[in-house]
Amino acid sequence: ELAHVTRITTLGELTASIAHEINQPLAAVISNADACIGWLGRDPADLDAARRSVEWIVEDANRASEVIRRIRALAKKTEIEMVPVDINQVVREVMALVRRELATHAVSVRMELSSGLPNICGDRIQLQQVLINLVMNGIEAMQANVQLPRELAIRSSQDGDGHLLLTVTDRGVGLDSDVTDRMFMPFFTTKSSGLGMGLSICRSIIEAHAGRLSAFQNDGSGATFQIALPFPQEAAS
């Protein structure tokens, strides 16, 4: 239940971004439809140009409906479903959802995704939720950065031990030991409007996948959160 509540809360925070993601293609649909009417109204009608406009309309409408499909999937309350998951695909889907949030906060993202990683077995939506939480926390941790660039790095790789590793590195306030000790506890928050459930739910989700979620202070500034997930037996051998 709590996982669902937090997911919805996070979606609430993302509402402005999501609205923008949908509004943009809709605006393009309208202007292309206008243009199309114009091409058809010529004498003789410019059918090639009209066809092109309609093709663009189809593309933009598909983009908008894809955004809605992803949000629906995220907001829907479903049983946990363990299926083969390409983690890089999960990262890309999450990036599409938080793109606007990143832009608003002037955060750039560096993605270093290993190619050829075996699939892991997991619940795609829950893994998305974990990643969204980590990215949103990273953005918030860099809110006060003036001198330092606001940069998130997301990396996927595998260790020598049959685990997939996914890390989210920020250059934010970092973790002092007081926070590190308690941040995975339910309701621990240092934010004025924080709920303090994000990391505790993330950890439960990762542990339900037989994995580990850990955090380190970076050598430079900021923090790194690492998800380690086991590859299914067959893939690891």
> Which residues lie across from 158 on neighbouring strands?
164
CA–CA distances in Å: residue 191 to residues 64, 98, 171, 173, 221? 33, 20, 18, 13, 19
Interface positions with ligand ADP (CB under 6 A): 133, 137-138, 141, 170, 172-173, 175, 179, 183, 188-191, 194-200, 223
Amino acid type, 63: R
Q: How far is the CB of 61 from ligand ADP (least distance, A)?
A: 35
| Whether the Cβ atoms of residue 173 and residue 144 lie closer than 8 Å to each other | yes
If the CB atoms of residues 87 and 141 are measured against ligand ADP, the closer one turns out to be: 141
Place of tokens 């709920």: 195
Using the minimum distance from each CB to ligand ADP, give the nearer residue, 122 or 138: 138
Neighbours of 115 (CB within 10 A): 6
Smallest separation (angstroms) from ligand ADP to the CB of 131? 13
Min CB(84)–ligand ADP separation in Å: 28
Residue 161 CB, nearest distance to ligand ADP (Å)?
25
Whichever of 84 and 194 has its CB closer to ligand ADP, that residue is 194
Return all residues near 38 (Cβ < 8 A) that are at least 6 apart.
Answer: none
Question: Closer CB to ligand ADP, residue 87 or residue 223?
Answer: 223
Task: Point out the residue whose Cβ comes nearest to ligand ADP.
Answer: 198
Residue 133 CB, nearest distance to ligand ADP (Å)? 6
Shortest separation between residue 36's beta carbon and ligand ADP, angstroms = 46
Question: Which one, of 126, 67, 76, 124, lies nearest residue 100 by Cα?
Answer: 67
Closer to ligand ADP by CB, 17 or 24: give it: 17
Nearer to ligand ADP, 36 or 74 (CB): 74
Please state, in angstroms and rounded to a whole number, the distance separating the CA atoms of residues 139 and 216.
17
* Spatial separation of the C-alpha atoms in residues 29 and 35, rounded to whole Å: 10
